[in-house]
Each structure stands twice: as C-alpha cells, then as structure tokens.
Amino acid sequence: MQFPYGISDFATLIREGYFYQDRTDRIPLLEATGRQLVFIRPRRFGKSLLLSMLEHYYDLNRADEFDALFGGLAIGQKPTPLRNQYLILRWDFSLIQAQGEIRDIEAAVHRYLNQRLAAFADDYARYLSHAIHLHADDAIVSLQSVLHATRASGHKIYLLIDEYDNFANEVLMHGGRKDHYESLLYGEGLLKTVFKAVKAGASGQGIDRVFITGVSPIVLGDITSGYNVAENVYLNQSLNDLCGFTEAEIHAVLTQLAAEGKSWSIAEALNTMRTFYNGYRFSSKAQQAIYNPTLSLYFLKHLYTVGEYPEIMLDDNLSMDQAKLRYIAGLPGGEQLLTQALSTPDGVVIPSLAQRFGLADMLSARKDDAFMASLLYFFGILTLNGTAIFKQPVLSIPNLVARSLYVERLQELWLPDVNDMADLRRIAQDVYLSGEIAPLCQFIEQRYFPMLSNRDYRWTNELLLKVAFMTVLFNDRIYMMVSETEVDHGYVDLSLIVRPDMRRFQALDLLLEFKYVSLKALDLSGEQLKAKTIAELEALPAVAAKLDEATAQAQRYAAVLQQRYGLSELHHFAVVGVGLERVVFRRVL
C-alpha cells in the first residue's frame, strides 16, 4: 500500500495506486447545495486534493479519462449529468507573492492570474472559436476576454480557488503590512475587484460554478460588498467529513495493514491515533469526530514502511500553527483563553461562533473570548464539542497534537530563560524514570509560581496548578498525556500513559490528581506559607483534607486506567497547591 503523504494531485493518486479515501459520493450533494460555495478547513486538511478531485471530475478535457479515474469510485457507478461538462479555471492564491511594496504585490497578482488565464487558453484552444487577448497590466481585462470567448463557444467555466485567504494570513500572522491589505481589499482594491469580476462572471457571463477553499473567513468580511453571493458550507453537518477520515476508515486501513503480517496491535495503534489525531468537529450537529488526514497519512506511511510509530507525532509541516497561537496569546485576555482551554474539561463556552473577520476586526476591534476562540476554531486548534445549556457553542482542544502547540506556547511565555528549560528537561526525566516529583514541585514553586502570580488570571485554583504540571511534564515522544480522562463517573486530572511503541524503555505510567487550598482558607499570608516546612504544610487540617481527597480519587481512577490500558503498575500522586506559593504531594504508589 502506498500512502500519498504530501501528494494532492488526484490523478497521481488513482493512476499510481495510492491510498485514496473516496469522497466522490459527496459530488451530488455539493451540486445540490449551491453554485458558489466557500469551504473552510484548517491547514493541511486535504482541501487541495478535494479541489483536484473536482477538477478531474468536471473537466471537459478529461472526459476520456473518466472510467480510469472514477470507475472504481462511488461517483463512477452513478455520475451526475454535469460530469466532464466544464472548462476548468483554477487559481491558487498561495502562489501569489505577498511581500514587497503594494505595486509589486499588485503586479504579482496580475502576473499570476494572467499565467492561469494563458494556461486556460492553451488547454481549451480546440473548444474556443474566439481569440483570447491577455493584458499584461490588467488581469481583470484578460478575464473578460476569457469569459467572452467561453460564452461564444457555448461552454461554461467551473472556477476553483484554493487558499483564497492566503494574503490575509501573511499580513496578520507573519508581520505583513496592514496598508497593503487595505489597498488590496478596501475600496477599489485589486483583490476585491477580482472577486467583483468573479461575481459578474457568474451572472450569466461564462462562470457557472465556483468552489472556494481557505483556512479562515477573514477575507470574507472585507469582500462582502464585492462578492456577496457565495454560500458558506463549512458548518454543514453533511459535509463534516468531506475532508478528513472517520474512525471506521482509520480502523479499516489498520486492519488491512495488519493482515500483511505486521507485529503491532490494531487496537493499540487505533488508540494512539485517536489520542493524537482525532477529535475535529466542524458542525455542532456532527455525530462523529474526524481525524486530521495529513497527520493520519504521516503516521500510517511511517507505520507501513518502517513497521513502527513515528517518534515525533507532530508533523513539522504543522508546526507553523504556533504563529496563530502567538497571535492569540498576544491579545488582551489571549493567554488566559489558552490556559483555560488547556485546563478545563468543559471546554470554552462562547455566545456564538463568529463567522466573518474583517481587517478592522482583526487589528482594532475588541477581542473577547468569542472572537479569539472562533479564530482558533477555524485554525483547527479548537474544535466544536457540543453545546451548553442555552445552545451556546462549546469549543475544546481536539487532540494531543493540538494540545502540544498550547503547551509549547505557554512554555515560551512562562519559561523564557533557556536555562530554565534545561533544568526542566532534567527534572522531568527524573519523574519519567523514577517517579521522583519533589524536585518538580520545588521547580514549580520557585520558577512557575512567581511568574504566574504576576499574571492577571480570572481564576487561581487547581486548574492553574494542573496546567503548570502539564507544561512541565509534557513529552509526546514518550507519553500519551491526557487531561480530564473520563473514568468511573469522574475525570482524571492528568495521566501520562507510555505510548505502546515506547514500552521498551523504562518510563513509568503516571497519574496525578490535583487539589487547591487558598490563602484565605488557611488564614495565612504568602510569606508565612513560604516559611513553613513541607511537614508543617501537610499538618495543616485543610491541606491534609485535600491530600486525603486527592489520594482517594487517585486510587479509584488508577484502578480503572490500569484495566483500560492493561497496565501492571501505575504510579499515582495526590498533589495540593497551597496558594500560588507552595506545592505538597503524596506518592500513592
């Protein structure tokens, strides 16, 4: 079996026998949904492959290839009347230069569009009776010529636009120029004019259908007056898995691979992939979560070719999502939102999901939790996870790969000193190998608490304590770290279960239960707490009661996790934070 990691050309996948998860059965649904559609998904989620599949299905030039490409797929058994009926015009805005002065960027836009229009003229020359005239300095005029020639031929265009919001992402996330964005999308800006031309072309002037993909709806808010005819379908329940894999599909692939005599366990591989890659819901009504397709293919290809899991579960191609977290963390209240999302089992509840973000909103409008959480949803770093009591959306971190991005960002914020990180790695290793957490508790008291006490958090409790331990102990090369695992009518605060492929090493399986005692409850000052020994702290009635409570929970939950993961031993700890000054613990096993 060949896995098409990094390949987004549909014909290559089919002709060369690569794995392809059939989504052609959705073609009739897309046709019935509308003629101009906008489909938003996070980066590396299979959007380009989807466009390539649509291109090959509708392209008049590929009519003779239909049986070879689609004969073995769902749509091949019952094609729609629109099969191979269009002249395809495809634009990829990520290929347009987004740096330089505004005149350089505008020239790049004209140059790119003219290149695509010239390719269109060559591809369909035998169908076009009228000559196409390209204007080097004005791609809008060139497009009018293409539309005129297409109408005269009696044919129609299907326009496919990939990464329509690429320029906005460059501006906002990578230090681009605000004035450049405004020049391109405000007033009679060039990109806005391009979309106005598309709208005009779709009003009986040659463009019959448009399908647009992107990462976020940022640009939509600024081109509405020029292009207000597209239907947003990214929240449609029926299209939740248009890109991405279901668990049943992942299980089927693992079963097929295992049948070839592989030595790994299907159940363990599926559980690992579920922990790291599953969890995306793009509709509040979706019945099942979706696996990230790029990361799944990354894992499956490594498993098939090497015979073991990849050591690093986060593909480096997704590491640039850190820029989005940096943007959010830099906004007022952004760091609190990241910390809340990382710590709470209930997710982040917002009044409604924002669906349009203009530049003015991004740069100057008030950024409340709903605004920031909605952006993280579109970036794929939060996902829909049900609704609250009044049907408000609940957003949560989808999986362990996404969680690792939060951890890394908070480590950067809270431990900027490289020496701290060196100490942290040494201390964490002692926990992994021997379960010795006393130095870790001291590290949190001495390095983390002074940092956290200077931050304006709306809450200071065991959740903040848990986040501190998560950011210190996180290591996805060794562990599946799961926060708030549901067991026995409760939730495990933090568990670190050794990855199945890492059990040949000596790392321990760990469980930690956290409690918190405030200064007010003890009627002590921070300075008085710092002066006490660990034994004196443990003797305080409120602290002792919390230690006992956490111990009982750890013992109950540990029994469930040992059975669930088939563990012979699980080292578990009761940990109590005393204000933001001290940490005491009890080793239960």
The structure's pTM equals: 0.92
Say if 3 falls within a structural domain: no
- Residues 58, 38: Cα–Cα separation, whole Å: 18
Q: Give the pair of three-digit tokens for residue 103.
A: 């005149």
Give the model confidence (pLDDT) of 459-512 as tens digits.
678 888 999 999 999 999 999 988 767 776 678 889 999 999 998 888 999 999
Same structural domain for residues 186 and 328? no
Domain count, the chain: 4
Say if 2 falls within a structural domain: no
Q: Give the pair of three-digit tokens for residue 445.
A: 């008291």
Which pLDDT band, with edges at 50, 70 and 90, does 417 fall under? confident
Same structural domain for residues 358 and 483? no
Residue 189 has pLDDT above 70, yes or no: yes
Mean pLDDT of 259-267: 86
- Residues 244, 291: Cα–Cα separation, whole Å: 6
Same structural domain for residues 45 and 105? yes
For the chain, give the number of residues.
589
Which pLDDT band, with edges at 50, 70 and 90, does 413 fall under? confident
Output the pLDDT for position 53.
98
Domain boundary among 311, 328, 352: 311
Residue 314 has pLDDT above 90, yes or no: no
Q: Which of 414, 554, 397 is nearest to 471 (CA)?
A: 414
Residue 317 has pLDDT above 70, yes or no: no
- Residues 539, 581: Cα–Cα separation, whole Å: 17
Give the model confidence (pLDDT) of 228-261 as tens digits.
888 999 999 999 999 999 999 999 999 999 988 7
Domain boundary among 189, 216, 239: 239
Say if 5 falls within a structural domain: no
Output the pLDDT for position 173.
60
Residue 289 has pLDDT above 70, yes or no: yes
Output the pLDDT for position 185.
75
- Residues 251, 270: Cα–Cα separation, whole Å: 7
Same structural domain for residues 398 and 261? no
Say if 48 falls within a structural domain: yes
Same structural domain for residues 352 and 450? no
Residue pair 570/510 in contact by the 8 Å Cβ criterion: yes
Amino acid at 395: L
Degrees to nearest 5, angle at CA 29 with 24 and 33: 140
Which pLDDT band, with edges at 50, 70 and 90, does 176 fall under? low
Residue 192 has pLDDT above 90, yes or no: no
Say if 222 falls within a structural domain: yes
Q: Which of 436, 466, 438, 440 is nearest to 452 (CA)?
A: 466
Say if 116 falls within a structural domain: yes
Mean pLDDT of 299-327: 82
The residue among 563 and 461 whose pLDDT is bigger is 563
Mean pLDDT of 286-314: 92
Residue 544 has pLDDT above 70, yes or no: yes
Range 537-548 burial, b when 16+ CB lie within 10 A, else e: bbebebbbebbe
C-alpha 312 chain-centroid distance: 17
The percentage of the chain sitting over the pLDDT mark of 90, rounded to a whole number, equals 63
Name residue 421's beta-bridge partners: none
Same structural domain for residues 166 and 179? yes
Same structural domain for residues 486 and 369? no
Q: Which of 13-27, 389-403, 489-503, 516-530 has the highest mean pLDDT?
A: 13-27
Give the model confidence (pLDDT) of 87-121 as tens digits.
999 999 999 887 778 888 899 999 999 999 999 99
Task: Give, as one character, the DSSP assignment of residue 262.
Answer: -
Output the pLDDT for position 364.
63
Residue pair 205/140 in contact by the 8 Å Cβ criterion: no
In this structure, the number of other CB atoms found within 10 A of the CB of residue 110 comes to: 22
Residue 175 has pLDDT above 70, yes or no: no
Output the pLDDT for position 458.
66
Q: If you write DSSP's letter for every residue of 450-501 in order, what string do you get? A: HHHHTS--S--SHHHHHHHHHHHH--TTTEEEEEEEEETTEEEEEEEEEPGG
Residue 262 has pLDDT above 80, yes or no: no
Domain boundary among 293, 311, 329: 311
Residue pair 39/212 in contact by the 8 Å Cβ criterion: yes
Residue 418 has pLDDT above 60, yes or no: yes
The residue among 221 and 559 whose pLDDT is bigger is 559
Output the pLDDT for position 416.
83
Amino acid at 342: L
- Residues 354, 218: Cα–Cα separation, whole Å: 10
Residue 34 has pLDDT above 80, yes or no: yes
Q: Which of 314, 319, 317 is nearest to 409 (CA)?
A: 319
Which pLDDT band, with edges at 50, 70 and 90, does 180 fall under? confident
Mean pLDDT of 26-48: 95
Report helix, strand or coil for 588. coil
Output the pLDDT for position 85.
98
Same structural domain for residues 436 and 503? yes
Output the pLDDT for position 177.
66
Give the range of the structural domain holding residue 272, as residue numbers without chain letter.
Answer: 247-311
Output the pLDDT for position 183.
78
CATH number at residue 82: 3.40.50
Same structural domain for residues 480 and 556? yes
Residue 320 has pLDDT above 60, yes or no: no
- Residues 185, 189: Cα–Cα separation, whole Å: 5
Which pLDDT band, with edges at 50, 70 and 90, does 140 fall under? very high
Range 467-504 burial, b when 16+ CB lie within 10 A, else e: bbbbbbbbbbebbbbbbbbebeeeebbbbbbbbbbbee
Of 127-131, 378-382, 410-414, 450-454, the one with minimum mean pLDDT is: 450-454
Output the pLDDT for position 334.
87
Output the pLDDT for position 487.
72
Averaged confidence pLDDT in the chain: 90
- Residues 425, 430: Cα–Cα separation, whole Å: 9
Which pLDDT band, with edges at 50, 70 and 90, does 187 fall under? confident
Output the pLDDT for position 484.
66
Give the model confidence (pLDDT) of 67-77 as tens digits.
999 999 999 99
Residue 365 has pLDDT above 60, yes or no: no
Say if 518 falls within a structural domain: yes
Same structural domain for residues 373 and 303? no
Report helix, strand or coil for 54. helix
Output the pLDDT for position 43.
87
Mapping DSSP onto H, E and C, the string for 402-451 reads: HHHHHHHHHHHHHCCCHHHHHHHHHHHHHHHHHCCCHHHHHHHHHHHHHH
Residue 420 has pLDDT above 90, yes or no: no
Q: If you write DSSP's letter for every residue of 303-361 in order, what string do you get? A: HHHHSS--S--S-GGGGGGHHHHHHHHTSTTHHHHHHHHHH-SS-EE-SS------HHH
Mean pLDDT of 443-464: 82
Say if 198 falls within a structural domain: yes
Same structural domain for residues 333 and 425? no
Same structural domain for residues 21 and 163? yes
